[in-house]
Structure 1
Amino acid sequence: MKNPMRNFFQRVLWDDNVDKKGIVVEFASRGSNTGVEAFTGEDVVKVTRDGLLVATGGRAKFIPFHRIIEIRYRGRVVFSKKESVYSFKI
C-alpha cells in the first residue's frame, strides 16, 4: 500500500530540487511543555516504513507518521490533520 506521507519525505530526503529549508513540520511531542514541536526538511535523516528519523539540537529522534500534525512548504499548508488537507504538493 502506498503512503503519501512517506513518499513526500522520501522526496524531501533525496530530491535536490526540493527546498529543504522551506519545509516546516509540526508534530505531537510528549516531551515538550506545549505538546508540539517542529523541525525543518533539513533535519530529516532517514525515512522508514512507519516514520522518520530527524536530527535536531544535536540528537536524533524518531517521529512516527501518525504524530505529524501539519506540514508547510514555503508557508503553504500541504498537510494538516485539523483542516483535513492532504495534498502533499511541492
Structure 2
Amino acid sequence: MNKEPLYQEWGHKLIPSSYGELNGKKRYYRVFYGTVHWHTADPENIHKACTVFVQYGATEDFEQARRKGEIRENYPCHIIEQDMDSVMAAMKELRERRY
C-alpha cells in the first residue's frame, strides 16, 4: 500500500467568507496549494493542485487545523458569488509563487 499523504500543503491563503459561522467560529476559504496524491485513480502520480476547503477557525498550520476539525474535508467548498473574486485572486497568487 502506498503511504504517500493525500495532501502536502506548500502554501495557502485564508480568505474570510462574507457569510457563515459554525459554533461561533468564522467561516474561511482555505485556498490550498501543494500536492495531491490520487491513491486510487492515479496511484503512481502526485500532482500539483489548488484546492479550496471550508475552514471554520483561523489555524494556519494545515495538519493542526485538520486535527482540530476546523477543515471540512467531507463536503465540497461552495464559494458564494460575492467571494469568488477574492478566492480566484488567492489561487492565482499562490500559483505564481515559486515553490
Interval of TM-score (by shorter of Structure 1 and Structure 2): 0.3 to 0.5
TM-score (norm 1): 0.34
TM-score (norm 2): 0.32
